[in-house]
Structure 1
Amino acid sequence: MEDFDLAQLAQYLHITPDKVEKMALRGTIPGRKVSGQWRFNEADIHHWLEDRIGATESEDLGQMQKVVDRVTGRQTDQQPIHQLCTVDTIEIPLSARTRGSVIRNMCEVATRSGLMWDAPAMAEAVKARENMHPTALDCGVALLHPRRPQTSILSDTVVALGVTHSPIPFSDTGHSTDIFFLICSYDDSVHLRTLSTLSRLIASDNLLTQLRAAGSAAEAWECMHAAEEALETV
């Protein structure tokens, strides 16, 4: 990936160069100076956006969605979550009691789609991402994903969902996790849009309660579908 200069990043984020420079000076956006000029690595900016999506409060997620739409380009043919995450890629209950077994089992579930075919390779990539920065949220949900799209083992984007019987320690924050999404995106733009939509879904009323009460993959999928349809009307 290439670096952005100040003007290029401002155009990419649809904000002014002055605002980008102020953010860089404050350390709120990753950048470095080379020969007195600001440079911003595209991968670092992608991960900065990714972290902002995960840290955004529920009432601000709609605004964050607008940022993602501007950055990635609004895609009218973007597949909804209920098409990326099918009954085949949902496991209820997910049989796992440790962080490592969650990651391995979720990757195995994703292979049922036929769109991802090397579960061990994906598991290693997800584990490396988790070691860098855990994706578990305080609400008991983890949004698992590799640091970079694993295009060598994917033919298209797939999302898997698993719900454990009991919450397990999954991050270093002290919170336990029992709902796990695995996002295996084919490119960065799709990843950001999928992550943003999932973040809005899990912040919506009752969905997490419904997923925890779901007795089957089909029931969980119906809950996801209904929540996504409700989100589209907002």
Structure 2
Amino acid sequence: MKVQQETDMTSKADNTEILTLPEVARYLKIAEKTVLRMAHRGAIPAAKVGNQWRFLKPVIDNWLLTKMDNTPQVSGFARLVDDPETGLMPLSRLLHESFVVPDLPPGTKEEILSTLIAPLVENNLLKDGTAYLHKLIAREQLLSTALERGIAVPHIRNPKENPPGLTVIVTGRCPAGTDFDAPDEEPTRLFFLIVTDSESVHLRLLAKLSKILSDEKTVQAILAAPDERAIIDTV
């Protein structure tokens, strides 16, 4: 599947995915004027509908991950990673050995995602694994959650559709690598399935994972970790 342009995807998006300028500013926690200037410069993916700027949320998520990798010092984005006012818990507290799949076999997207959500179903955190799988696949059809360097961060389109009060990350490792439609066309080896019903926490988890995984030594350490506990300790 080739990544489509954001303007081509707008017709597939529902109203919860199409954001206005004020909504994007709140989502990114930066000033509206800053977003407007970025849109005019083409520095943020956007499309003009009439005289109004519109933004596609999944595209903004992927764009933000790229910005995190390239410019971690930018003040507006850095605050999303470690904000003492909101007190996001350390990633280590969101990881558990029961939610680590250390030996994912290569397969289709559906097979990979089905294996990743299996621990959630087994621990009674998801009532309907099939329905949740369909939501994950729908998100992938809109725009792949695979990044460069063999990493993917699967998640459903609307965090509020996750189980209430649940925040967890399911970690999957595919030593052989598998095709997940990465932008660099390289096989994906590490998967971090984000499950949270909070949009702000969702965004900040994306940011924090991006910051950690931008270090190639960390990525290689995860790939070389001997077991589930070692994977968690590395992250």
Fold agreement, TM-score > 0.5: yes
Structure 1 gaps of 5+ residues are 225-234
Query: Is the alpha carbon distance of 1:120 and 1:32 closer, same or farther for their aligned partners in structure 2, counting shifts above 3 Å?
Result: same
Higher mean C-alpha displacement, 177-186 vs 91-100 = 91-100
CA deviation after TM superposition for structure 1 residue 84, in Å: 1.3
Displacement, 1:185?
A: 1.6
More off after superposition, 77-86 vs 122-131 = 77-86
Matched position secondary structure for 1:97:
coil
Most deviating of 119-128 and 72-81: 72-81
CA distance in 2, matches of 1:112, 1:69: 35
Q: Indicate which of 54, 62, 78 corresponds to 1:51.
A: 62
Partner residue in 2 for 1:30: 46
Please name the residue that 1:192 is paired with: 203
Over the aligned positions, Cα root-mean-square deviation in angstroms equals 3.1
In 1, are the aligned partners of 2:139 and 2:156 still within 8 Å (CA)?
A: yes
Q: Does residue 1:180 correspond to 2:199, yes or no? A: no
Cα shift at 1:97: 2.3
Partners of 2:215 and 2:81 lie apart in 1 by: 24
Matched, 1:133 2:149: no
Please name the residue that 1:105 is paired with. Answer: 115
Amino acid at match of 1:52: W
Post-superposition shift, 1:205? 4.5
Q: Check whether the contact 1:87–1:217 (CA below 8 A) recurs between aligned residues.
A: yes
Q: CA deviation at 1:153?
A: 3.5
**2:156 matched to which residue of 1?**
146
Report sequence identity in percent. 21
With over 3 angstroms needed to count, the CA separation of the structure-2 counterparts of 1:194 and 1:150, relative to structure 1, is same
- Kindly provide the amino acid, as one letter, of the partner of residue 192 in structure 1: L
- Pick closer, same or farther for the CA change 1:71–1:58 going to 2, 3 Å: closer
Secondary structure of the residue that 2:190 maps to in structure 1?
strand
Q: Which amino acid aligns with 1:61?
A: P
Q: Structure 1 203/112 Cα, relative in aligned 2: closer, same or farther at 3 Å?
A: farther
Whole-Å Cα distance in 1 between the matches of residues 211 and 25 of structure 2? 26
Q: Are positions 1:219 and 2:230 aligned together?
A: yes
**Aligned-partner residue type, residue 198 of structure 1:** L
Question: How many angstroms apart in 1 are the aligned matches of 2:81 and 2:149?
Answer: 27
Unaligned runs of 5+ in 2: 1-15
Amino acid at match of 2:226: G
Q: SS at 2:71's partner residue?
A: helix
Greater mean alpha carbon deviation, residues 161-170 or residues 171-180: 171-180
Deviation at 1:59, TM superposition (A): 4.2
Contact kept in structure 2, 1:61 and 1:199, CA below 8 Å: no
Paired position in structure 2 for 1:207: 218
TM-score by length of 2: 0.76
The offset of 1:154, in angstroms, is: 4.5
The 3 A distance-change label for structure 1 pair 69 and 40 is: farther
State whether residues 163 and 212 of structure 1, in contact with CA within 8 Å, keep that contact through their aligned partners in structure 2. yes
